[in-house]
Structure 1
């Protein structure tokens, strides 16, 4: 029992070390890795090469799958290109298994010591996150050494021998065992390294180990499918297409296990090398050999899992729960959903003028109902962001997290104001059959056009973070405020002249241009975080110093 517990602890340590490396690399290089993927998708072969590089760094083909699926969802790449990336991702995992199969145990204490020093002394910086990666690498090497130590005594157990005998004659059972291990551990890399270590100490015979390796690859694909079962269609298409390639690879390679043992294994330096090289050969064959089938598999997956004809109103479109394990990716999904929320707000705002011109009460009510969607999207985005671990975010991503929260709050408040404006138009204009004066309508139209233009500029500032555009947005705030004051004065002059239409719509007119100014203020707020980060925002608009409130002016003593 003690030896079994030691083995289970070593396996758990191996899985945990893999997790530390993956999350550490994503914290440091997450955004850069996504950029690398995006720039390497010109054709299937460069896409596969980028998949190898990214997966070798993050040690998780699942993380690569999520990044790739997000590009498919944004329409940046096609499904065949995404499947080509996954062909390279599988090779990247196999190459890392080959590296860790070498005798690197002497590096374990070095990695752990350096990693702990960096993590403790520079925890909040990039150096601290790199230290986390070193700790993970050290724990993986230490775990592999512990696996070897724990499995040697287990060979003497008759129970172990009986179990091995019952499994050795059934290839599909071996594949099933490997698949279950990969699903439970959520890491095919850890399982392949475990199998290699067990085969090297003769806990399992080589034939069984190779069958379990095939199962581990199959289980890795199945784990991704199960994990992302409730994700968007684009994500599921990538994982199911990847699973199809893995199944074809298992069917192709399973009959050649005997050939490998007879002709390849004798020329290799050890059993562990035989296992990891078989793992590499399997992934090279399904990646290089089957890369020409990406178009065919993509068409099959698209028929099996078609995209919905239209988005469902009121439901989050981009908030993928499976992306929460990759914070940089989750942030990008939240940005997309926030922009969708802004699109709904823009639709409401554009419809205001049609309601005013055509006195369309039905349109007004439809637009007012859209505010419920804006509110629901705000709640969904806020809840999604709270589930992203702030500890896993870098400094830039933490700022982006705060920017998204601020942006969605502003959009939600704009939606509330537009709903209130539409209600006022119904009650004070449409139901009473009143019209704005020609001059008053021209002023409202001018303010509305500027407001829509500023909203679009604000969306661009939020998406791109351009400092010059942010400055333009604040300049527009000043200009808009001056126009609002000028038009309020003009309206009062028309009242003095006794203009009938102006007198009938006076309350609505003043409230309307005031509400438009409030909306513009919320839009302008988008610029503040960008300018503050760039260091170009003045601390105060006041010209002189302000005396503290607790200070009592001379001569005012009681």
Structure 2
């Protein structure tokens, strides 16, 4: 019975450690995720910048997996080469060791202060960033609390014959230690948590340094398995180049370190005789040496991975361009026509998203909403492909009319992609909030929203026709829609305030949500007008520069 209670207690403390690690990762991603992604995307110009960026982003996120997903997205989208993406992963592997270095010191006494400070920050709902950072601080407190409890629990088992027998049996064959730690890390999805657990075992003398280092090697191997196993399952081997390449570097490093583990153990013992610090140092040194060895070889290594994992051409993939013929770039007028046809595909995807959003006004299907949000990735991919295609045309081959048309295509593509972002980041999350909170719009409210969605679809069809025809009358008609949506927003806002004055608290939340949706639709409509109507009207000299009165204020 005591054994079962002990196992449950150990599992609970490990679960707390994992949960604390997750809170740190998710809190940072919520607070700084988009900024970190932008920063990472800007620094992938060469291997050295990419390495530093990967190290820095992972040191903040404390998740090499999250950094790897960002880098994989850039590489799969063709925005960066495989070589700098591999360099990012080398930096990420070093970055994830930094929190282990910090926690290797005796800082467990700080956990009550961290949890208290984090709770106070978390309650600051008025400032989303402080709220998310509070989650991070609470997570750190939980990690320290779990480590403190683990050390206390390990003390109880220092003299345990059963535990000693199990650990000694594994220690007899270092490869078993490597495989055990790799399996645990794969299951836990966190090398940080497993290395911290190894540090606890080493600190209490339950394992010797040799076995501790073998377990650390396993943890480094296990953290690279998840992206390969759980990666893109569409059958395209090219999408697995980065995770497979990262795993292969780890396998090479683990085999080499395992062969020299005896001398390495002696060297690490000379550098620091503290068991906890020694484990953390070995973890960092392993990843640093691996990075130094592979950095000069990244280009041939990337070429090898490209040959081994060729790209699969999937004609059914909606995010894959269909009309961007590379050979047509020699004849700009043909290339511009191909880009125009590709740009019209954006309207089809956006229409599917708007139609799906209309259905979600009364539906409770969360899965359908999640599928709709994935369509924004199609818009992003097509917009990127169109921009890359057009900007690669030799500018000397373009006439004045060709340059104007190119700008029109780029503006159209960009605005439709941004309209998709409004749907993905604002409108669909508002609908998801309705489902999550069990809210229901009134019958009149549902009818109004559905009519506005229908009007938005009609305006999208008009924008597509205008994009091809450049007709001034059509442009005026579409531009007038901005006045309509502005009036609807004004009237809805007035009705919302009227409900609040009358004390209609029961409908306050749905009324506020209704207003949010109308504002989102107004924003989407504005992108449609900016994509097509404004350029035509501006070309004809029919567009005012400002809605302000032309009467200049007197100069005092």
TM-superposition CA deviations, 1:16-36 (whole Å, max 9, x none): 101000000010101110121
SS in structure 1 opposite 2:78?
coil
Q: Taking structure 1 as reference, are residues 74 and 316 closer, same or farther at Cα in structure 2, changes over 3 Å only?
A: closer
Give me the whole-angstrom Cα distance separating, in 2, the residues matched to 1:523 and 1:262: 64
Partner of 1:236: 240
Partner of 2:371: 384
Q: Taking structure 1 as reference, are residues 452 and 36 closer, same or farther at Cα in structure 2, changes over 3 Å only?
A: farther
Q: Does 1:33 align with 2:36?
A: yes
Give me the whole-angstrom Cα distance separating, in 1, the residues matched to 2:455 and 2:313: 27
Candidates 157, 160, 178, aligned match of 2:160: 157
Q: Taking structure 1 as reference, are residues 201 and 385 closer, same or farther at Cα in structure 2, changes over 3 Å only?
A: farther
Contact 1:346 1:452 in 2 (8 A): no
How many aligned residue pairs are there?
A: 397
Give me the whole-angstrom Cα distance separating, in 1, the residues matched to 2:473 and 2:229: 44
Matches within 5 A, 1:83-482: 83-122=86-125, 125-230=128-233, 235-313=239-317, 315=318, 346-347=344-345, 375=352, 382-384=369-371, 401-402=425-426, 413=457, 448-450=468-470, 477-478=479-480
1:474 is displaced (CA, Å) by 8.9
Partner of 1:16: 19
Q: Taking structure 1 as reference, are residues 12 and 123 closer, same or farther at Cα in structure 2, changes over 3 Å only?
A: farther
Over the residues paired in the alignment, what is the CA RMSD in angstroms? 4.1
TM-superposition CA deviations, 1:38-78 (whole Å, max 9, x none): 12112111110011100000100000001111111332210
Structure 2 residue runs of 5 or longer lacking an equivalent are 322-339, 357-366, 376-420, 431-452, 484-521, 532-546, 548-556
1:376 is displaced (CA, Å) by 8.9
Contact 2:122 2:135 in 1 (8 A): yes
SS in structure 1 opposite 2:286?
helix
Q: Taking structure 1 as reference, are residues 38 and 171 closer, same or farther at Cα in structure 2, changes over 3 Å only?
A: same
Give me the whole-angstrom Cα distance separating, in 1, the residues matched to 2:94 and 2:455: 44
Q: Taking structure 1 as reference, are residues 274 and 405 closer, same or farther at Cα in structure 2, changes over 3 Å only?
A: closer
Q: Taking structure 1 as reference, are residues 480 and 116 closer, same or farther at Cα in structure 2, changes over 3 Å only?
A: closer
Give me the whole-angstrom Cα distance separating, in 1, the residues matched to 2:472 and 2:248: 47
Partner of 1:337: none
Relative contact order: is structure 1 or structure 2 higher (C-alpha 8 Å, sep ≥ 6)? 1
SS in structure 2 opposite 1:77?
coil
Give me the whole-angstrom Cα distance separating, in 2, the residues matched to 1:252 and 1:186: 24
Partner of 1:57: 60
Contact 2:114 2:137 in 1 (8 A): yes
Give me the whole-angstrom Cα distance separating, in 1, the residues matched to 2:76 and 2:428: 20
TM-superposition CA deviations, 1:438-463 (whole Å, max 9, x none): xxxxxxx9885227999xxxxxxxxx
Contact 1:108 1:142 in 2 (8 A): yes
Partner of 2:444: none
TM-superposition CA deviations, 1:202-251 (whole Å, max 9, x none): 12222111111101111100112112142665542211111111111111
Structure 1 residue runs of 5 or longer lacking an equivalent are 319-341, 350-370, 389-396, 422-444, 455-472, 482-520, 531-540, 542-558
Partner of 1:552: none
SS in structure 2 opposite 1:228?
coil
User: TM-score, structure 1 length as denominator?
Assistant: 0.63
